[in-house]
Structure 1
């Protein structure tokens, strides 16, 4: 298990205080913030260089109404977030840990039903790198039960020739969940515990957090039509993604909750292991800023989460925000993520 410790202070590591100031500016922006609050953690080697919280974990009662000021809950370094698509990295990592699955296996060799409608040639690797040809998503939240959801996926045909083009798709990681569960006989949440969170002592990371965690969890969205596909009101401690919710909160593409420190442990373990990096995005300036361009890998989550690994400097940056609180229509792209990546890249270059 990687051991992390508070290392060089932000003052000594030039630029990190400015990184926090940048995030604070986004949180306090007028007329409206990019997010209600955020937690940022930056590390290099075994040292955690920065771990700060800004803003509010809970601020709004509804999409158009703030809570009374005395009911706002401050963001704290240990706040737990709905990771959204950062869950995909855990599903990908489990795949690399499971001997029963090879990346070049046809998906249908593990899940024969998946091979219908022209999906027979699709491989596990193509699910991980989003070259399966599957569309981005399906409305599983409209299905009556699990059998109807799987039937919808089995009947789906690729919209592009497998292997010909990259289409980022939640369906890839949902299909991969079926592969892992068939190949091992274990549920995905058990596999994540067995291969990742228990060995790394990531005790703030799990699907379906218990009610006792709610005071520590950042709220997400007042989810209702027309922007939400389900009418669930303000979400706090339950998964934001509608399809993951329909799947009982455990899904290959979304559903995990975690804290910045736990994700730092995860990042450190991945850097110690080294590449390759199945399931990761590589060198993406739109959310990595100037960290991109030298082999950085990472991912984002719809709720406002992101992480970036920079193998070249043995460093990583975790930025967790509740940018859909109170409503997804408040999201303003990834400017805050890119700004944080640029500040960190320049700080690394200064020492």
Structure 2
């Protein structure tokens, strides 16, 4: 009985927390009305099970609707208006055969359209987005054919965007018809739907000071002009609403190179620690399959028995106070006269060379054992003060594999798929076109090539691109969804990914009082004694959390303000010794602009003597 009571209390708390961040969901900014919603199809859930197509039968261009859908999932978009040809209608229906959900957009309904929707619904779920019409014609046929019907009175671009966001749960719907639309759908008809994902709105919709945000453009462009980075992606959100989403510059400093787009995929470097490793560990801990207070040796006895590493507490490892070396240059011992040794490497894959390190460069799969031997031959320091280290994450990578019987990339991608995220993952060339991935360093000391589409971190590269500390690639949008899920205390897309108490545990600073260590469990936390990073000064609460990445990235989320921030770049192109991004404070200066525009500061308000009573 107590077990079930705890489950109910946990679910109730998760719902309360979820509503806290998705409560102010700007329902007043749109006039759309949800008329029918069979089995609560809207907002769409379980996106990994859906093959979605949108069919525009309208005379209007619905690009804004389609762009809104593309924020959430891969949607194939079709446009059709050749209703006079039965052959063309049959051909269009054939095109939709491979999909299981069709979103039909139209601003008019005549007999051919009504019959076409009916034919589609024989084997597919259908959502109708009826745009700008005065009456719903062929009501009975339409009503019987569509699982959900959304009516959007206005045809403006922003209203079309809102319709797409309502369907995917970016915005809630709580409006009612002002006039009769049909026999069944009369004035005051309307159904409520919930917000379960990020939305994309204008700053004015959230009463954010839009006139201050132009400074972001100035800072980003100055960074590009001064060659701090070739380009970047930036996202800012508040209370689950993205109000700033923009890309700057090019993939390289060549002005003819591809311009950065919002869909481009960056090497996240150490953000992997919180967007993959911590994500998986927190989910495992939520399911009672892992305990961060256990020792490394508890999970890896075969590797760590009879070593000083076996008694290290995992929480100490993840808060960087376990006495581990900061970094070990594993790659150096794989070189011969400064070049990759072909006693270890191969230009082609083979049964023993499975780890793809870079273009035409494969490492022995068994070299993983050599890496662990090298770590275990390195002394654990007695001083347990805070010292940042990647080394512990090699063990985390192994623990995840042991507990799940899967490689870390597959475990992480199961979670991403559940959340509907398709632009985040490991080994990017197996998923995305190379022209979507900005290059990182021109590596002249290890791989002797431009690193493009492969992980920049040398250690993760030796593991085939899948590390606990590095290896993850993403665009800013999907990383923002992960961070928003953390702000929602583990809930996103209608699913509980992680228990709320586990997230609170990992994003706290467990050793600040006892060891003057600001770090969370895997997460970074604000400096407590003034400026100096990783955030701007007095613009993030002590409850906030995030992480930076060596390749030029920063993401941060603040439960106190509801503000979420993502900055991605390839500042290491073509040389990792370029530290202008840091010296110019570009990431934190942009963060400062965002919090100022949101009128948020942690500084104590100074009261003038005249104001005292």
TM-score (norm: length of structure 2): 0.52
Deviations 1:153-174 (A, max 9, x none): 233321234xx21111110111
Q: Distance in 2 between matches of 1:28 and 1:134?
A: 39
Q: Distance in 1 between matches of 2:370 and 2:249?
A: 42
Q: Quote the residue 2:533 is aligned against.
A: 286
Q: Distance in 1 between matches of 2:220 and 2:204?
A: 15
CA separation of 1:10/1:157 partners in 2, compared to 1, >3 Å: closer, same or farther? farther
Contact 2:552–2:581 under 8 Å retained in 1: no
Name the SS for the 2:536 alignment partner.
Answer: helix
1:128 to 318, 327, 344: 318
Deviations 1:291-332 (A, max 9, x none): 334422111110001101111111110000110111112222
Deviation for aligned residue 1:10: 6.9
2:369 to 140, 147, 152: 147
2:419 to 200, 206, 209: 200
From the CA coordinates, give the structure whose radius of gyration is larger: 2
Matched, 1:167 2:387: yes
Matched, 1:261 2:477: yes
Deviation for aligned residue 1:85: 0.5
2:221 to 11, 17, 24: 24
Q: Quote the residue 2:401 is aligned against.
A: 181
Runs ≥4 residues deviating over 6 A: none
Q: Distance in 1 between matches of 2:438 and 2:305?
A: 40
In the alignment of these two chains, the number of paired residues is 332
Q: List runs of 5+ in structure 2 lacking aligned partners.
A: 1-44, 46-195, 335-343, 345-366, 490-502, 508-520, 602-613
Matched, 1:13 2:216: no
Name the SS for the 1:198 alignment partner.
Answer: helix
Q: Quote the residue 2:435 is aligned against.
A: 215
Q: List runs of 5+ in structure 1 lacking aligned partners.
A: 60-66
Q: Distance in 1 between matches of 2:394 and 2:217?
A: 35
Contact 1:213–1:237 under 8 Å retained in 2: no
Contact 1:281–1:298 under 8 Å retained in 2: yes
Deviation for aligned residue 1:260: 0.4
Contact 2:232–2:569 under 8 Å retained in 1: yes
| Pairing of 1:50-69 with structure 2 (within 5 A) | 50-59=244-253, 67=254, 69=255
Q: Quote the residue 1:45 is aligned against.
A: 239
Q: Distance in 1 between matches of 2:566 and 2:204?
A: 15
Q: Quote the residue 2:463 is aligned against.
A: 247
Q: Please, what is the CA RMSD of the aligned residues?
A: 2.0
Q: Quote the residue 1:63 is aligned against.
A: none
Q: Which moved more, 1:168-177 or 1:133-142?
A: 133-142
Contact 1:10–1:50 under 8 Å retained in 2: no
Deviations 1:187-216 (A, max 9, x none): 11111112x311211111111112642111
Contact 2:541–2:560 under 8 Å retained in 1: no
Q: Quote the residue 1:231 is aligned against.
A: 447
Contact 2:556–2:565 under 8 Å retained in 1: yes
Q: Distance in 1 between matches of 2:526 and 2:217?
A: 23
Q: Quote the residue 2:379 is aligned against.
A: 157
